[in-house]
Structure 1
Amino acid sequence: MPVLHIPHVPHVPQLPHVPRVPHARRRAGLVLLAAAALYAAPAPPAYGAPADEPGWTAEPAAGQAVPGVGDRPFSARPFFARPFFYMAGTAGTVLEDRLALANTTDQEHTVTLRGADAYNTADGAFAVRPAAGSTGAGAWIGFGAGATVRIPPHTRAVVPFTVTVPPSSPPGDHPAAVVATEAGREVGVRVHLRVGGPAVAALTVEDVAVRGRGAAAVVAYTLVNRGNVALAPELSLRAEGRFGEVPGRGARALPVELLPGQRVELTEPWPGAPVLDQVRVTVTVTAPGGARAQGSASAWFLPWRAAGWTGLGLLALAGTTLAALFLVRGRRTRREPPAGERPGETPGSPGPTPAPEHELTGASR
């Protein structure tokens, strides 16, 4: 699945601060500082695209500042860059926005545009559905006759599109993306779409397990977004052993945006895992909006290598002890001689006559 690409904004070098000096000296100093800054600044990239880039970019068209700021008319308000689309409305409405495509090469490019549903991969990354796999908000995005755009060299094209929210759409976040494709290469721009109504932030922590030992120990768990809004979760780790509390992990933000209805499988490093103990680990996850969930698991920590050598030593000691006991018992056991070889008997003579048995009649003799 393609992973969305966010265009990188290059850093613009600034001239150093110039202290107040006499006019002639100040002019000479400015010239020297300007020359030094231009010399030290990295050379601008060649006007074109690297071999691994499609040769064009896709991003939201610059939007205007929020109405009502200052006394200037709306047409005079400044524009600002947007890293993604944010759209909000009620069910049954039609929303509009614009996508900017820029050709940075000397050749013409033909780009195809489409909408796509967004989802979390198993490890929490943001991805989009294929062209025929979108049945949610991605299918609500339409470009009309502008789905295929021809961009001349060194030209920027602005393409309008609409998002038609069905009347039966449930409230909450509906993640999507605008995807531009050419010759198998795709560039996506995220669309944060929120349908008006009650926002529910809820999640669960499942399948908690401890893997590994020592400094390589990790706590594996599964996060499930049970609400209707995207979540930015924070995690903390607490552990309690037989000998008291074990160092865990303080609260930290997770590098994942958990989309509604999505399930992700994550691991948390646990360098404070004990060497010898039975520990119960509790994973606590919180998110803005009041979402909070916990999950626990128990694990034994044993120094298996030392225990293995100790076990082998005990087995060897037990084997040696049994062998010594059998040897001593064999030496003490005497072999009974056959008939005719006992003291006072001649070879071939019958053995001693057994004593007669007396019949007990109860009468005294």
Structure 2
Amino acid sequence: MLVCALVVLCLLGAGSPAASAPPGKGEPPWSAAPSPPAGTATADARSYFYLEGDPGTVLKDSVALTNESDAPRTFRLRGADAYNARGGGFAVRDEGRSRGPGRWIALAEDTVEVPPHTRAEVPLSVTVPDSAVPGDHPAAVVISDGKRRVGVRMHLRVSGPTLAALGVENVRVEEADDGAAVIGYTLVNRGNTALRPRLAVDADGLFGPLIRQPARALPVELLPGQRITRQERWPHPPAADVADVRLTVTAEDGARDSAATSYTAVPWGWAAGALLALAGGCVAWYARRRRRASSGERERPTPAGGQGRTTRRPQPRRPAPTTGAAK
């Protein structure tokens, strides 16, 4: 049987492989991980594959499958593209949708039956195309038993010039329901290497600094060409101020970028009261003006018989003639 020639079976050792499938209720667990190096006692010596080579080369490794149940278990294996799911989590492409490095992976067997309480090692190869561009190409080996599936991460790097380029954009500040604020932003990997970004937040208002948050590591890995939208909580934003909020991101190999936005905090309760008072004053002024106009109309005399009365303009008084003194 070809499987027997390609799969190395060995007794379970101490420890559990890194990529494990959570067992269902009443089901024994199973796990998958890169095969440990020769002479290594623990099965979880490596939590992911790391392979590097020039375009046109063939890289080799193997994946270890551990069956802890009392019955044989059949596994299906395939290569897949890896990417960051929303929020930065590790995810793989669905079967048949791989268009990148997942298609470079060839497994010695795509279906393997593992005896009970046994670990099987399945050889695999990665053929790097001649046209592959230098940099990181995230991939994975996906293993399924028909009920659950796990993905073993593969860090695949094609040798050659690399570029670490990181960007931050779409910075915005929005009010939360509980009185806090939320700073939203999007991270972009514009280079060809995987990055682990760090973020610093600064905000200045009209009366001085509001936030001075030093750079801290974010719980994400940004893959080449990937975009991740994240949020930072601002627990105590100002009640009334105009703030400039600036985000600065950094990563390995000098990757750096920053972006800013403005945030205007308005105490809407006070503003609404002021607007109501102003509106009330305008209404009162208009009402007084109308009353005065109506009062003037009532006091104007109306001619008898409905005929109008002619008003003659007063003529200027001429000075009396003067007579000269008798000589």
Cα gap change, 1:335 to 1:102, in 2 (>3 Å): same
Give 1:154-169 correspondences, 5 Å limit: 154-169=117-132
1:239 corresponding residue in structure 2: 203
CA distance in 2, matches of 1:210, 1:352: 72
The alpha-carbon deviation at position 264 of structure 1 amounts to 0.9
**Does the 8 Å contact 1:215/1:270 carry over to 2?**
no
> Residue 160 of structure 2 is aligned with which of 190, 197, 207?
197
| Contact 1:233–1:254 under 8 Å retained in 2 | yes
TM-score by length of 2: 0.81
Does 2:198 align with 1:224?
no
Matched, 1:61 2:24: no
Say which is worse superposed, 254-263 or 87-96, in terms of deviation.
87-96
Q: 2:25: which partner in 1? A: 51
| Corresponding residue for residue 177 of structure 1 | 140
Q: Where does residue 289 of structure 1 map in the other structure?
A: 253
Partners of 2:241 and 2:170 in 1: how far apart?
21
Output the amino acid matched with 2:102.
G
2:294 aligned with 1:320: no
Residue of structure 2 equivalent to 1:330: 294
One-letter amino acid of the counterpart of residue 113, structure 2: R
CA distance 1:52–1:202, change in 2 (3 Å): farther
Counterpart AA for 1:228: N
- Counterpart CA distance in 2 for 1:352 and 1:332 is 18
Aligned residue in 2 for 1:250:
214
Specify whether residues 277 and 111 from structure 1 end up closer, same or farther in structure 2 by C-alpha distance, changes over 3 A only.
same
Counterpart mapping for 1:34-183 below 5 A: 49-51=23-25, 55-64=29-38, 77-79=39-41, 81-144=45-108, 146-183=109-146
Long gaps (5+) in structure 2: 1-16, 316-327
Aligned amino acid, residue 212 of structure 1: E
Q: 1:265 to 1:90 in 2, by over 3 A?
A: same
Query: In 2, distance between residues paired with 1:88 and 1:307?
Result: 62
Offset, 1:336: 4.2
- SS of 1:201's equivalent in the other structure is coil
> C-alpha separation between the residues in 2 aligned to 1:292 and 1:130?
33
Give the superposition deviation at 1:134.
Answer: 0.8
Q: Which residue of 1 aligns with 2:321?
A: none
Question: Deviation of residue 176 (structure 1)?
Answer: 0.5
Q: For residue 300 of structure 1, give the secondary structure of its aligned residue in structure 2.
A: strand
Q: Secondary structure at the match of 1:317?
A: helix
Verify the 8 A CA contact 2:18 2:46 in the aligned structure 1.
no
Provide the rounded CA distance (Å) in 2 between the counterparts of 1:215 and 1:324.
42
Fraction of identical pairs, as percent: 47
* Whole-Å separation in 2 of the counterparts to 1:158 and 1:178: 13
On the 8 A contact 2:28/2:69 being kept in 1, the answer is no
Identify which of 224, 229, 247 aligns with 1:265. Answer: 229
Q: Spell out, residue by residue over 1:77-109, the C-alpha distance to the aligned partner (whole angstroms, 9 max, x if none).
A: 544511111111111111111111112223332
Counterpart CA distance in 1 for 2:106 and 2:264 is 56
Quote the Cα distance in structure 2 between the aligned partners of 1:61 and 1:323. Answer: 89
Q: Distance in 2 between matches of 1:355 and 1:179?
A: 109
Quote how far apart the aligned CAs of 1:352 are. Answer: 6.1
1:299 aligns with 2:263: yes
The gaps in structure 1 that reach 5 residues or longer are: 9-47, 65-76, 341-346, 359-365
CA RMSD of aligned residues (A): 2.8
1:210 maps to 173
Q: How far, CA to CA, are the matches of 1:292 and 1:355 in structure 2?
A: 89
Whether the aligned pair in 2 keeps the contact of 1:248 and 1:270 (CA below 8 Å) is no
Q: Aligned-pair distance for 1:257?
A: 0.2
Equivalences for 1:334-353 in 2 at 5 Å?
Answer: 334-340=298-304
Trace 1:351-362 onto structure 2 (pairs within 5 A).
none
Alignment check: 8 A CA contact 1:249 1:270 kept: no
The alignment partner of 1:325 has SS state of: helix
- Cα deviation for residue 295 of structure 1 reads 0.8
TM-score by length of 1: 0.73
**Matched residues in 2 for 1:50 and 1:141: separation?**
29
Over 3 Å counting, the alpha-carbon distance change for 1:106 and 1:339 in structure 2 is: same
Structure 2 residue matching 1:289: 3-state secondary structure? helix
Residue correspondences, number: 295
SS at match of 1:323: helix
Q: Alignment partner of 1:63: what SS?
A: coil
Q: Residues 138 and 176 of structure 1 are in contact (CA less than 8 Å); yes or no, is this contact kept in structure 2?
A: yes
Deviation at 1:351, TM superposition (A): 6.5
Q: CA deviation at 1:289?
A: 0.8
Q: Report how far residue 354 of structure 1 moved.
A: 7.7
Aligned to 1:274: 238
